Structure formats: C-alpha cells, structure tokens
Chains A and B, each alone.
Chain A
Amino acid sequence: GAVVSQHPSRVICKSGTSVKIECRSLDFQATTMFWYRQFPKKSLMLMATSNEGSKATYEQGVEKDKFLINHASLTLSTLTVTSAHPEDSSFYICSARDSFRGKETQYFGPGTRLLVL
C-alpha cells in the first residue's frame, strides 16, 4: 500500500517550453500533496503544498506563476514548469499523505528528472 507514482520519470525540453509533471497516489486518497525540488547531493526543499480543490500554498521564494500546481482530484496533482530555463533543471519529487485514514507518514514518488537545454 501507499504507492505514489510520477510521470514522466525523465524529461528533456528546450528552453522556453513548458513541462507538466504528474503525481498520483495509486492506492489511497490524498487531500494534500507536496512538491519538492532536489539538487545533486543536496537535501529536499519543499516548493509548495498542493491542496485538492483549492489553490496551492507556495514556500517563500518559489514563484507561483513559474511553477503551476493543480490538484484536481484526490489522487492527482500536477506541477507545470512554465517557460523553463536551464536553471530549472533539477529532480522534482512529490509526496502524499493518506490523510483520510489519519496516517501521518508522507510517501514519496520516484521523482522526475528535468533537464532544460
């Protein structure tokens, strides 16, 4: 149980294009999902909290118009990197919590490696 998937696992795009990353909770429902960014040999940094049916909450310093988050259902959140630039290249990871069953643990997806050329 508690499986979170991400798609795609890897993406290469040209500078200026937009890229959408999907995060799905496969066997549970999540009112809240989280998006993290991770640079090589570094820790995870929370970008935003994705709330089902409402606007995402962004961490300080994260541009909401740059990183669009949509949480349209209890099992799917998407992160769209708009007008991507090489500095957006990173490992993006989502997590979800089975809040309906009162479980605290966040389960993470396998991550999406984004490379912007």
Chain B
Amino acid sequence: GESVGLHLPTLSVQEGDNSIINCAYSNSASDYFIWYKQESGKGPQFIIDIRSNMDKRQGQRVTVLLNKTVKHLSLQIAATQPGDSAVYFCAEEAQGGSEKLVFGKGMKLTVNP
C-alpha cells in the first residue's frame, strides 16, 4: 500500500543553471525509456525518449543518458528556466510489446529566478 508521509525528492536550482535528474530502473529487460514532465494538476507531458541500443540522445535543451550496466537513466536540462519547474518521471517499457509503462517515483524540480 501507499506509505504515509513520504514526499517527493526535490531538486532546487537557480535559473540558468544546468539540472540533472536521475532515475534507477528495475527491469533489465526494459528496452524503451521515456522522461515525462508533470505540472501540478495536469497529465504527464512527453519530453524525450531513448531505446536500449543507445546510450545518449539529445533534444532541445534536454539530454537523456542511459547506462544499462547499472540500470540508470538521467535527464539533463540545460539553462534551466522557471517554466521547467515541475515533477519529472522516468518510465520504462519492457521488451516484448506489452506497451505497459512502469513509472519511477518522480523528482520535483524547482527553479528559482
């Protein structure tokens, strides 16, 4: 069941700094990974994805790094802006075509102006 009193991990950065959000995934059979951004009261918004045959992928101001050896995923945001303030979730999809996503616990990013 749900644990009472747990809060989301929080990362606070200054506007203009680079942010790094980390995620450990559990299933070594996962072959597709996605980062989502969720603002308060809204649904998750796709940011960037990466397949397991890659270790790095870049988008606009964002980079995702995948380390399959230690089952670690990270999201780097360059020149963080106040509009980047949100909760960030990583999600993994196991190979085999189930299409089901398993979400990580989330990290709250706060950007201070």
Contact = CB atoms under 8 A, between A and B. Distances in A.
Interface of A: 4, 6, 32, 34, 39, 41-46, 49, 93, 95, 97, 99, 104-111, 113
Most buried by B among A6, A34, A106: A106
A113 B41 contact: yes
Contacts of B6: 41
A3 B1 CA distance: 32
Interface residues of B, number: 24
Nearest to A6: B43
Contacts of A106: 34, 46, 99, 101
A95 B105 CA distance: 18
Main secondary structure of the interface of B (DSSP, over half): loop
Contacts, number: 57
B47 to A, nearest CB: 10
Main secondary structure of the interface of A (DSSP, over half): strand
A105 B44 CA distance: 12
Sorted nearest first, the 7 A-B pairs with minimum C-beta distance are: A108-B43, A43-B103, A108-B44, A44-B103, A111-B43, A110-B43, A93-B43
